[in-house]
Amino acid sequence: MSLYGTMRTGVSGMNAQANRLSTVADNIANANTTGYKKASTQFSSLILPSTGGAYNSGGVTTDVRYSISQQGPFTYTTSATDLAINGQGFFIVTGADGIEYLTRAGAFTVMDDGSMVNSAGFKLMGYQYSSTADPTIVVNGFDGLSEINLSSGSLSATGSTGGALDSNLPSNEPVGYTKTTSLVAYDSQGNTRLLDFIYTKTADNTWTLDVQYNGASIIDPGVQTLNFDADGKLTSPMSIATVAQTINGANFAALNITIGGSTQLNAEFNVSNGKINGNAASEVVGYEISSDGVVSLKYDNGKLEPKYRIAMANVQSPDNLKPLPGNVYAQSNDSGVIVMGYAGNGGYGSILSGALEDSNVDIAEELTSMIEAQRNYTANSKVFQTGSELMDVLVNLKR
């Protein structure tokens, strides 16, 4: 056995325990870091071949591993843009370098330019929302992603295009009976336009319907004749249309209004369904993010307008992702390729709005590891010290 080998073995043991203590220090320092995943030190022995009955002491090497796939507990907040993932997957963010990264740190804030930025300065990425179809996902890449930006939603008005009006017309009223009801519509600038719907009985099972704005008929092509069968059900027409107009510089679009649910029964005049789409000018008062990642603007009139769909990503071996500063991860050779998807489907977790994923560090466990590392470091130093003392004995033999 070589005394120098003994001393080198003690040094390797001290280095290994110092590495372990470094991961413990990082874990404790980031115990309150949102989305942080703890690091651990794994030990592996180094054994040298023994020759001629002499034992050659080897040493120990370390490998740092990350518990990225281990989910942390949740803390609930009052901010709708604080996001956590319940299950598998990562948010996709971009840094100042323009490169996309993965993260579980979802403490996002809407900045003055409309971007959603987390506490490390990374911007959230997603797809433009479509009500007709999900965006096409490039499964193994980030193509098609765009920065989620909510700056365009400060004030919004939507002009009316259609609606419905289902009424019961009293069958026991005499010919010439007239009844008027009204609905509010909106032009392209959000101005309210009050429409009067005038019903007049002209014969048994026959009525006329006129739609007027400011006392002038706007029905297309003219006053409509409503025909009912013997059971009081409307037979024709099933819908009516108005003509488009320009009022004080604003466009008041043609409206298609369904009336197929109207009846003629021996009861009082009654509107069972009356509505027209569109809305007046409204300000954004907040945001709502659904469990499947749809980001919507919330206006002061209660309307929600979907704007983006948050994209998610995953890899085959999350624990082998490459950790980078800012609590983000990059693909490595051992992690597998990045696969894109949406929250709530394809094995991806759901998104919790108003929540944050805490660090998965267990302080009690880390303090225990700290004590173990300290004791083991001391023991390895004793090995080095003993080898050094034996070297002194050997050197002093010549005296």
> For residue 185, what are the contacts with CB-CB under 8 A and spacing of at least 6?
160, 163, 192, 193, 194, 195, 252, 255, 276, 278
Q: What tokens appear for 303 in the block?
A: 């309307």
> For residue 11, what are the contacts with CB-CB under 8 A and spacing of at least 6?
59, 380, 384
Q: Environment class of residue 245 by beta-carbon count within 10 Å: exposed (0-12), middle (13-18) or buried (19+)?
A: middle
pLDDT of residue 133: 67
Q: What is the pTM of this model?
A: 0.71
**Residue ranges of the chain assigned to CATH 2.60.98.20:** 160-277
What's the CA gap between 326 and 329, in Å, rounded? 9
- Per DSSP, the chain holds a count of helices (H) and strands (E) of 2, 33
pLDDT < 70 positions in the chain:
1, 52-53, 132-141, 152-154, 398-399
pLDDT of residue 134: 65
Q: What is residue 87's three-state secondary structure?
A: coil
Paired strand residues for 216: 213
Q: Environment class of residue 150 by beta-carbon count within 10 Å: exposed (0-12), middle (13-18) or buried (19+)?
A: buried
Is 219:234 a contact under the CB 8 Å cutoff?
Answer: no
pLDDT of residue 136: 62
User: Is omega for the bond preceding 135 within 30 degrees of 0, making it cis?
Assistant: no
CATH fold, domain 160-277, is Tick-borne Encephalitis virus Glycoprotein; domain 1 (2.60.98)
Paired strand residues for 250: 247
Among residues 129, 171, 133, which one has the least CA distance to residue 152? 129
Residue 233 carries which DSSP code? B
What's the CA gap between 319 and 296, in Å, rounded? 33
pLDDT of residue 154: 64
Q: What is residue 387's three-state secondary structure?
A: helix
